[in-house]
Amino acid sequence: MSLSLAPVTRALLIANVGIFIVQMLTGDLLIGPFALWPVASAQYPTAPGFEAWQLLSYGFLHGGLNHLFFNMLALYMFGTEVERLLGSKHYLTYYLVCVIGAAAAQLVVMGAMDQPPVPTVGASGGVFGLLLAFGIAYPQRRIMLLFPPIPMPAWLFVTLYGLLELYLGVTGSGAGVAHFAHLGGMAAGYALLVYWRHGRPVR
């Protein structure tokens, strides 16, 4: 994988890290207006309500340093090659569509749950979309897992990761993680790739 970052990937990394620094300096100031809140949260007087811009803005906030690190590591590892494949303009569109698709899936899931509203943050929806695109474009490329350090082809890594997210989401395991949002990001990315392939050329 290339160490030379493509321009949109670099800009996304800088934006996410920069906004996280602002988060550290301001506490929860950005969470109220810019995290993704359930539509039903308007029924709770003390909870911020849903706003349309949250469909994108939540994807540039993070819940801690580890959350930021792993999302940015994946963006660094896969973003440049996907960007060079799609072209910068389509790559940015693809990434943001994945973020919105993840938000839509999360809103549906949160709307079906009878519990006080909690905010959703993180770039994972866009990152999972990148993983999908990478696995489709380079299915035989070897990927080394961190834990455990086992190499496997990209197509298998993406398939297993998607199945794991589905299992964790259905069983309710891994509390505090938006598993269906991850799947929503992958689904939105796949739909857009299919549209580009059959509807019009990428470049």
Q: Give yes or no: 124 in active site.
A: yes
As a whole number of angstroms, the distance between CA 101 and CA 103 comes to 5
Residue 89 lies in a domain: yes
Q: Which domain holds residue 170?
A: 7-199
The CATH number that applies at residue 167 is 1.20.1540.10
As a whole number of angstroms, the distance between CA 38 and CA 53 comes to 13
Catalytic residue among 57, 62, 90, 124: 124
Q: Is the pLDDT of residue 2 over 50?
A: no
Residue 132: name the closest of 114, 169, 157 by CA.
Answer: 157
More confident residue, 182 or 115: 182
Residue 11 lies in a domain: yes
Residue 2 lies in a domain: no
**Phi, psi at 101, each rounded to 5°:** -60, -40
Average pLDDT over residues 32-59: 84
DSSP conformation class of 176: T
Global confidence as pTM? 0.89
Residue 81 lies in a domain: yes
As a whole number of angstroms, the distance between CA 121 and CA 161 comes to 20
Residue 1 lies in a domain: no
Q: Which residue has the tokens 């989401």?
A: 169
Please give the tally of structural domains in the chain. 1
Token output for 197: 């392939």
Instruction: Report the chain's mean pLDDT, rounded to a whole number.
Output: 87
Residue 96 lies in a domain: yes
- CA angle, residues 45, 52, 203, in degrees to nearest 5: 160
